Amino acid sequence: MSGKILSDYEKLHPNSRALANRAAKLFPSGVTHDARSFFPFPIYVEKAVGGKKSDVDGNTYVDFIGGHGSLLLGHRHPEVMDAAAKASQRGTHFGSSHNLEIDWAELVLQLVPCAEKVRFTSSGTEATMMALRLARAYTNRDKIIKFKDHFHGWHDIVVGQQKDDQALPSSIGVPSNFYESLIVLEPNDEDTLVEALGRNDIAAVIIEPTGAHWGSNPIHKKFLEAIRTHTTRTATLFIMDEVITGFRTAPGGIQEKYKITPDLSTHAKILAGGFPGGCVTGKSQIMDILELRESDEVWNREERIAHQGTYNANPVSAAAGSKTLDLIAGGEHNHLADATTADLVFQLNKLFQAKELDASAWHMSSMWHLNLGENSPPPADVENTPNYRPSGINKALLQPLRWALYNHGVDLMADGGMVSSAHGTEEITLTIEAFDLAINDLRNDGYL
Ligand SMILES: Cc1ncc(COP(=O)(O)O)c(C=O)c1O
């Protein structure tokens, strides 16, 4: 691969390249998360603040990754940092109960509509693993329904059959008979859902409530309502995986915004204010399967779900998480991030039109996405357009677009990004300027 865009990217990032060369000897493909893998090498970040981050070569970027979606308040929000610093001065791990986990749990119960009890984990993956186990234990059924391409972390049962063209799991190393208890359905199709629930043998339906990959294939509210209706009718549990949408789309997540209450919901990311942490929350009678009962050996040994985890509700995450949820509780940060995203999308669509580019931008709440390539659908109010089918970014254009945007100071997350309440007019202006220049570069290099 050649061209000015790529050679500029290489010229602008000599220190990142040097670190990538070291990393290549240490990590498979040189990275510690699949999504950070990038050709010919990723940028290495030195520090971040608000809506921006800067790399080891002194380049600054408008950041749309936002800690994989965990930073609704932006990088290093002063009150969150202060809470974490104060907590770490008391100790990073007591191996005992502490007041900060109680404050944190009370905020979860205050904000999340389905929350009656909560259990903290260290990640979203652990949260969905626990929720599915709870569902199986509670219903005494084995089967799980998930939706095509929906991401729920990387534990065994949820990694299967994620791609249209893959009948087999997208991750090897999971026994194939594991998938006998997994049913993968087309999203937004009520008929197949009704049919799959028909034998009353499904423990739970789990879904990313705005659609696969933080809404890049949107789910409509009506489908969530259908899941609620049909799971209730068949005594199946409804698990909303709000790891991304929780505390972002509203202080209480999609379940608050759409007034659809699941039986359980899973959370991470914003929950812990940029530190590691996750939780499962929901109805007490389901959560109480985790209970340890004094003097009931049979229950403790045979009828409950065991749960450990060294870093569950560690004081630093608990303090940062509580401060974050406290700041989010009034909804102003959510509204601000949503409004900034709407403005960004409006300006991007104006630019694409002015440059006569077959492209469009759209958003749900503070998550935005791009269509780029031939026959991109026009922009739409996606939440109120049930049949909206985005085309995404043409595969051949994604990498050159990201190089070009890096060269002009923007870090995308996949086909778009996450906006925080710390992003504002300056970040929008910088992003529009970067897109303008990047489109010129893509045209000059013959990609467009
Ligand atoms: C919807 C959803 N569920 C679960 C997870 C897994 O969370 P974690 O990366 O904290 O394990 C993610 C991570 O991106 C996610 O987007």
What's 149's domain CATH number? Answer: 3.40.640.10
Confidence of residue 178 (pLDDT cuts 50, 70, 90): confident
Q: Does 86 lie in the same domain as 227? A: yes
Q: Does 159 lie in the same domain as 16? A: no
Total structural domains in the chain? 2
Q: Does 355 lie in the same domain as 261? A: no
Q: Does 264 lie in the same domain as 136? A: yes
Confidence of residue 429 (pLDDT cuts 50, 70, 90): very high
Q: Does 399 lie in the same domain as 322? A: no
User: Quick check: CB of 271 below 6 Å from ligand 1?
Assistant: no
Q: Tell me, what CATH number does 59's domain have? A: 3.90.1150.10
* Summary mean pLDDT of the chain: 95
Q: Does 190 lie in the same domain as 87? A: yes
User: Quick check: CB of 211 below 6 Å from ligand 1?
Assistant: no
User: Quick check: CB of 125 below 6 Å from ligand 1?
Assistant: yes
User: Quick check: CB of 67 below 6 Å from ligand 1?
Assistant: no
Calculate the dihedral angle through the C-alpha atoms of 407, 74, 256, 380, rounding to the nearest 10 degrees: -20
Q: Does 256 lie in the same domain as 182? A: yes
Q: Does 351 lie in the same domain as 228? A: no
Q: Does 356 lie in the same domain as 313? A: no
Q: What is the mean pLDDT of residues 234-251?
A: 98
The pLDDT of residue 162 = 54
User: Quick check: CB of 153 below 6 Å from ligand 1?
Assistant: yes
The answer on pLDDT for 175 being more than 90 is no
The answer on pLDDT for 224 being more than 80 is yes
Q: Does 82 lie in the same domain as 70? A: no
**Ligand 1 atom index nearest CA of 128:** 4
Last residue of a domain, one of 328, 357, 380: 328
Q: Does 181 lie in the same domain as 323? A: yes
Mutate to test the pocket of ligand 1, among 208, 269, 311 (most ligand atoms within 8 A of CB): 269
The helix/strand count (H/E) of the chain reads as 16, 16
Kindly provide the residue ranges of all beta strands, DSSP E only, lying in 90-201, ordered along the sequence: 117-121, 143-147, 182-185
Cα separation, 384 vs 388, whole angstroms: 9
Tokens 């979860």 belong to residue: 108
pLDDT tens-digit readout, 109-144: 999 999 999 999 999 999 999 999 999 999 999 999
**Ligand 1 atom index nearest CA of 268:** 10
Q: Does 48 lie in the same domain as 157? A: no
Q: Please give the C-alpha separations between residue 26 and each of 19, 33, 43, 171, 440, in angstroms, as whole numbers.
A: 11, 13, 17, 22, 37
Last residue of a domain, one of 268, 294, 328: 328
Last residue of a domain, one of 305, 328, 351: 328
User: Quick check: CB of 241 below 6 Å from ligand 1?
Assistant: yes
User: Phi-psi region for residue 50, left (φ > 0), alpha (ψ -120 to 50) or beta?
Assistant: left
Show the domain range for 118.
78-328
pLDDT tens-digit readout, 258-290: 999 999 999 999 999 999 999 999 999 999 999
